[in-house]
């Protein structure tokens, strides 16, 4: 994972980009020395030959600061002085190759790379606090409101711009029967998704994991799917209570799924100018469409119209046993295909990224059975550059929104349906929240057990690219807990109105499609003059803020888009 432009470190005044540092290496021996290294982020990878130093020679290496780097030098076929270290962005280091095994030292330090995000957080916190204080003062000060109203009316009377009798239009309460906490959760997800898709300031924790493990960027998509399941069952329950014909509901589900598929292809075509033969078919909206169609038809087929009189502690589960049986069957199929299908040249049960992983033993086996199925079905219609290729240098195409992951994605959506069924079944707030917390903790615990509480080497690692079963359970469990918290403080105790997340949650489809179509256009994005975290963070926050402002404008003008 050395950077291609190695000439940057040869110029002392050169401006390094984000996540870059330089190591000046001097060989004190009268023999040729080879420098080997590998990043700890690359799981079970062979050490790479970074450079060769001539006798008494020196060279400069441009390295990445995203992950700790293990280095050693080799002379006469003997490995010497192996050590690991996390390097800091824009630092310049020095390393003398001597028989005493000297460690890397700092030659020139730089500003903290995380200072911009800390300043941004402080600014947003202060701005939000000030805005909240001003609103509270205005709402609780009757004299101030009357003074402002009196001044406005006096000015109108003196200028004659308005009649003496002023009629105020009646206020309209928008969507009074919606679950506000659900819109807040959805709005939080869409804001995070926009910020992350725009780059997230190019900080590693706002990027997807190269393979195993979870970052903040990996959580947004499954949370959105869980929310879709909850919304689906709440909406379906109301329609069934109103005796809407099931054939009408089937048509609505199929129509919405078709629209999501169409929008997904449009979004894919907007990212790269490609021929039809290379257009990517899988995608985020496509995954939404297929899972929504499966779960929606499943609920239409088995959900009951009548209310249950005798409610027990497991009523919300028992009444949906056919649906759960079907979903668990899909999970079993996913597990059997993943671990039992013999992939040509790769064997069975491989869950790695291929390339340098596992000492390059499975170089062309990226994704195991999941990747093989997608390459056979879609051919060239896949994502060309995956997140893992930067680390593992794999050459085989792999799409994180492939076919096999749909099966476990259905489980994600149906766990949201289960949350909605609990909401509809039990009238007592305590009964709802206790069940949601139990579901959340149980799913997180089972998911962690499946991965043996480790990032790598567990039976079923946490992996968003494969949408592994452990990933499904952990992310859904987190969604249960987050929604419970929001439900209590927004809907029950009313300690927070959900702003500003509430507004994007009311028009999430517009914001998602819009930010994808205009992501590389001004004023939502541009090419910074300097490649630093500060420049990218400002640009990404600015673009995200514009979409929040658009969402507020749409809400204030009663403009809502649904499909």
- Supply the pLDDT for residue 471: 95
Q: Which residue has the higher pLDDT, 510 or 563?
A: 510
Residue 299 covered by a domain: yes
**pLDDT at residue 547, rounded to an integer:** 93
For the purposes of burial, counting CB atoms within 10 Å of the CB of 252, is it exposed (0-12), middle (13-18) or buried (19 or more)?
middle
In this prediction, what percent of the chain has a pLDDT beyond 70? 89
- Over residues 473-527, the pLDDT tens digits come to 999 999 999 999 999 999 899 888 888 898 998 888 999 888 888 888 888 888 8
pLDDT at 160 over 60: no
Output the pLDDT for position 174. Answer: 54
Residue 163 confidence (pLDDT)? 43
Phi and psi at residue 74, to the nearest 5°: -125, 125
Domain of residue 241 covers 199-303+331-498
| Helical (H) or strand (E) element with 332 | helix 321-340
Note whether residue 421 is domain-resident.
yes
Helices (H) and strands (E) in the chain, counts: 17, 8
Q: Is 403 exposed, middle or buried (0-12, 13-18, 19+ CB in 10 A)?
A: middle
The answer to whether residues 222 and 85 belong to one domain is no
Say if 400 falls within a structural domain: yes
**How far is Cα 125 from Cα 465, in angstroms, rounded to an integer?**
33
Whether pLDDT at 40 is above 90: no
Position 310 scores a pLDDT of 60
Instruction: Report percent pLDDT > 90 for the chain.
Output: 34
pLDDT digit string (tens) for 297-320? 999 988 887 666 567 677 778 888
pLDDT recorded at residue 5 = 52
CA 400 to chain centre: 12
Q: Are residues 265 and 374 in the same domain?
A: yes
Q: Give the CA radius of gyration of the chain.
A: 28
Backbone angles phi, psi at 53, to 5 degrees: -105, 130
**Cβ contacts of 136 within 8 Å, gap of 6 or more:** none
The answer to whether 399 and 378 are in contact (CB under 8 A) is yes
Which of 108, 136, 170 is the C-terminal boundary of a domain? 108
Residues 251 and 390 in one domain: yes
Residue 64, helix vs strand vs coil: strand
Is 208 a residue of the active site?
Answer: yes
Indicate the residue among 76, 108, 140 that finishes a domain.
108
Write down the pTM of the prediction: 0.87
In terms of domains, do 216 and 81 share one? no
Classify residue 511: in a domain, yes or no: no
The answer on 228 and 96 residing in a single domain is no
* pLDDT at residue 516 in the model: 86
Tell me the CATH number at 34.
Answer: 2.60.40
The active-site residue, picked from 202, 208, 362, 533, is 208
Are residues 210 and 63 both part of a single domain? Answer: no
Residues 106-124 have pLDDT tens digits of 888 888 788 888 888 888 8
Nearest to 563 by CA among 193, 294, 288: 288
Judge contact between 429 and 420, C-beta under 8 A: no
Based on the domain organization, do 268 and 378 belong to the same domain? yes
How do 48-53 and 33-39 pair as beta strands?
antiparallel
Helix (H, G, I), strand (E, B) or coil at 23: strand
Whether 546 maps to a domain, the answer reads no
What gap in Å lies between CA 4 and CA 539, rounded to an integer?
25
167, part of any domain:
no
Domain final residue, candidates 40, 75, 108: 108
Q: What is the mean pLDDT of the chain?
A: 85
The answer to whether residue 54 sits within a structural domain is: yes
Q: Mean pLDDT over residues 69-95, rounded?
A: 86
Same domain, 61 and 204: no
158: confidence class by pLDDT, cuts 50, 70, 90:
very low
Question: Does a structural domain hold residue 556?
Answer: no
Q: Which range is least confidently modeled, 30-34, 135-139, 246-250, 266-270?
A: 135-139
Strand partners, 53: 33
Q: CA angle, corner 432, sides to 318 and 182, nearest 5?
A: 110
């Amino acid at each position: 994972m050395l950077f291609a432009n190695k000439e940057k470190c040869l110029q002392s005044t050169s401006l390094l980009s984000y996540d870059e540092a330089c190591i000046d290496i001097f060989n004190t021996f009268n023999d040729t020395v080879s420098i080997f290294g590998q990043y700890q982020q690359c799981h079970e990878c062979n050490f790479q030959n970074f450079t060769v130093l001539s006798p008494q020679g020196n060279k400069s290496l441009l390295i990445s600061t995203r992950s700790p780097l293990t280095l050693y030098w080799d002379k006469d076929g003997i490995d010497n002085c192996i050590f690991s270290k996390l390097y800091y962005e824009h630092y310049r280091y020095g390393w003398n190759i001597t028989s005493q095994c000297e460690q890397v030292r700092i030659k020139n330090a730089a500003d903290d790379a995380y200072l911009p995000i800390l300043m941004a957080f402080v600014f947003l916190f202060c701005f939000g606090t000030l805005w909240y204080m001003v609103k509270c003062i205005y709402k609780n000060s009757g004299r101030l409101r009357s003074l402002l109203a009196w001044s406005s009316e006096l000015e109108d009377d003196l200028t004659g711009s308005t009649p003496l009798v002023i009629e105020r239009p009646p206020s309209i309460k928008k969507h009074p029967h919606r679950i506000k906490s659900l819109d807040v959760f959805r709005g939080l997800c869409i804001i995070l998704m926009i910020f992350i898709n725009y780059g997230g300031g190019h900080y590693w924790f706002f990027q997807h994991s190269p393979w195993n493990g979870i970052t903040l960027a990996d959580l947004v998509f499954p949370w959105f799917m869980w929310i879709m399941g909850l919304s689906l069952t709440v909406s379906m329950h109301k329609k069934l209570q109103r005796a809407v014909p099931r054939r009408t509901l089937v048509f609505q589900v199929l129509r919405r799924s078709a629209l999501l598929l169409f929008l997904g292809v449009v979004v894919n075509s907007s990212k790269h100018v490609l021929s039809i033969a290379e257009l990517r078919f899988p995608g985020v909206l496509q995954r939404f469409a297929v899972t929504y169609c499966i779960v929606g038809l499943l609920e239409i087929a088995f959900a009951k119209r009548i209310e249950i009189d005798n409610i027990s502690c497991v009523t919300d589960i028992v009444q949906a046993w056919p649906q759960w049986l079907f979903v668990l069957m899909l999970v079993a199929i996913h597990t059997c295909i993943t671990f039992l299908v013999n992939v040509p040249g790769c064997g069975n049960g491989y869950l790695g990224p291929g390339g340098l992983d596992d000492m390059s033993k499975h170089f062309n086996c990226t994704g195991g059975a999941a990747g093989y199925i997608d390459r056979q079905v879609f051919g060239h219609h896949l994502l060309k550059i995956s997140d893992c290729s930067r680390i593992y240098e794999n050459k085989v195409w792999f799409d994180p929104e492939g076919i096999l992951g749909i099966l476990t994605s259905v489980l994600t959506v149906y766990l949201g349906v289960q949350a909605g069924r609990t909401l509809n079944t039990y009238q007592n707030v305590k009964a709802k929240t206790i069940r949601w917390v139990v579901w959340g903790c149980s799913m997180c615990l089972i998911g962690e057990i499946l991965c043996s509480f480790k990032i790598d080497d567990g039976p079923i690692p946490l992996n968003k690219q494969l949408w592994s079963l452990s990933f499904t359970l952990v992310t859904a469990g987190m969604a249960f807990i987050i929604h419970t918290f929001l439900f209590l403080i927004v809907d029950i105790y009313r300690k927070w109105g959900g702003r500003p997340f509430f507004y994007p949650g009311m028009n999430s489809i517009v914001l998602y499609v819009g930010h994808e179509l205009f992501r590389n256009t001004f004023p939502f994005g541009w090419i910074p003059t300097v490649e630093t975290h500060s420049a990218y963070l400002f640009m990404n926050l600015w673009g995200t803020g514009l979409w929040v402002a658009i969402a507020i404008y749409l809400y204030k003008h009663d403009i809502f888009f649904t499909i």
